[in-house]
Amino acid sequence: MKRHGILNSHISKVLADLGHTDFIVIADAGLPIPEGVAKIDLALTAGTPSFQDVVDAVVDDMVVEKVIFASEIEDVNGKTANFLTQKFSDVTMEQISHEEFKQRTKQAKVIIRTGEITPYANCILQSGVFF
């Protein structure tokens, strides 16, 4: 058994397999999953686990060089927008339309679905390298 980091074996494997510039998506419960993209469904009940809890756990185990999120979040979900801008203040951030966001998810290695039920609580995490 692992002593530290992500215990979910599916997420742990995905993170270990990421290469530079590969990306994953952490999504709210409503984001559509494109056909052919792997999904790891963590949703238990409305709000559990939260988007923030999943982002925190994944980022502790992943080198992130860029985060992408929908520009609409700032007008509709200020709490999550603030969380993202504070959490990723030291990496490149890109805001795109929600429609473009959904298009980009088609190239994700995996989409991790949370139980989050607030609007636009989604982000794309692009993998960096630790060296």
| pLDDT score recorded for residue 1 | 80
Q: DSSP of 68-112, one letter per residue? A: EEETTHHHH-HHHHHHHHHHTTTSEEEEE-HHHHHHHGGG-S-EE
120 is in an annotated binding site: yes
Q: What is the mean pLDDT of the chain?
A: 97
The verdict on whether 20 is a catalytic residue reads yes
The structure tokens listed for 49 are 């686990």
pTM above 0.85, yes or no: yes
Helices and strands (DSSP H and E) totals, the chain: 5, 6
Is residue 3 situated within a structural domain? Answer: no
Is residue 117 situated within a structural domain? Answer: yes
| pLDDT score recorded for residue 16 | 96
**Distance (Å, rounded) from C-alpha 103 to C-alpha 32?**
10
Range of the domain at 107: 9-127
Is residue 55 situated within a structural domain? Answer: yes
82 is in an annotated binding site: no
Is residue 2 situated within a structural domain? Answer: no
Looking up residue 114, the CATH number of its domain turns out to be 3.40.1650.10
Is residue 112 situated within a structural domain? Answer: yes
Reading across the β-sheet that carries 64-70, which strands appear in turn?
39-41, 111-113, 23-27, 123-127, 64-70, 92-96
pLDDT over 90 (residue 117)? yes
Is residue 70 situated within a structural domain? Answer: yes
The count of structural domains within the chain is 1
| Catalytic one of 20, 48, 107, 129 | 20
| Region 18-36 average pLDDT | 98
98 is in an annotated binding site: yes
Q: Over the stretch 37-67, which tens digit does the pLDDT of each residue have? A: 999 999 999 999 999 999 999 999 999 999 9
Is residue 94 situated within a structural domain? Answer: yes
Is residue 95 situated within a structural domain? Answer: yes
| Region 69-96 average pLDDT | 97
77 is in an annotated binding site: no
